[in-house]
């Protein structure tokens, strides 16, 4: 998709899965989170390579070694009546930063949003990750207004909400 010096940004291919999972583990380590379990790793690989895929992934390589990735998928805006490209993850190994790899990954996602006729691109930035937030703002991104709060249901809470909907 994109190349910057010896950096290549392209869609994830089957041979990239091990490197992709290594990068996800590196992100978990960077954010002080538990890495995906063996079962989750299997689902990630299967979902990335499914037809159609459940999400899309870009891999960034430097001298043929995986150094970064981005995961995205589409949502839909009823008010714009257009799809939204949602960027779930973007990560570059700390030792590979400062070479424009993150900007190349981000730009490739923006290009994909344009190719898909998306009305916007959205993602979340972790409060306190000043480097990432500064990067986004440097690219021209604006934080959403403070009136919106992100929420999540998972595990037992998700099951309980399903139970309420069924009964």
Give CA–CA dist 84/58, Å, rounded: 17
Domain ranges for the chain: 2-166
3-class SS shares of the chain: helix, strand, coil, % to 5: 40, 25, 35
Cβ–Cβ contacts within 10 Å for residue 24, how many? 20
pLDDT at 126: 77
Mind telling me the catalytic residues? 136
pLDDT in tens, the chain (167 residues): 554 568 999 999 999 999 999 999 999 999 899 999 999 999 999 999 999 999 999 999 999 999 999 999 999 999 999 999 999 999 999 999 999 999 999 999 999 999 999 999 998 887 777 888 888 888 888 877 666 667 777 888 888 888 777 76
Q: Which CATH architecture has domain 2-166?
A: 3-Layer(aba) Sandwich (3.40)
pLDDT at 42: 98
pLDDT at 131: 83
pLDDT at 154: 80
pLDDT at 133: 82
Closest CA to 71 of 114, 105, 111, 26: 105
Q: Calculate ∠ Cα 115-117-118, nearest 5°.
A: 110
């Amino acid at each position: 998709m994109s190349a910057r010096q010896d950096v290549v940004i392209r869609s994830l291919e089957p041979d990239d899965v091990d490197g992709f999972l290594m990068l996800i583990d590196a992100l978990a380590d960077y954010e002080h989170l538990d890495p995906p379990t063996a079962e989750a790793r299997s689902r990630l690989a299967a979902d990335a390579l499914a037809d159609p895929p459940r999400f899309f992934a870009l891999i960034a390589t430097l001298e043929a070694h995986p150094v970064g990735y981005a995961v995205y998928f589409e949502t839909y805006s009823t008010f714009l009546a257009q799809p939204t490209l949602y960027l779930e993850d973007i990560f570059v190994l700390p030792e590979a930063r400062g070479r424009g790899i993150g900007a190349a990954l981000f730009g490739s996602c923006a290009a994909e949003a344009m190719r898909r006729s998306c009305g916007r691109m959205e993602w979340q930035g972790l409060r306190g990750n000043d480097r990432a937030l500064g990067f986004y703002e440097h690219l021209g991104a604006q934080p959403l207004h403070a009136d919106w709060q992100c929420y999540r249901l998972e595990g037992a809470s998700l099951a309980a909400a399903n139970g309420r909907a069924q009964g």
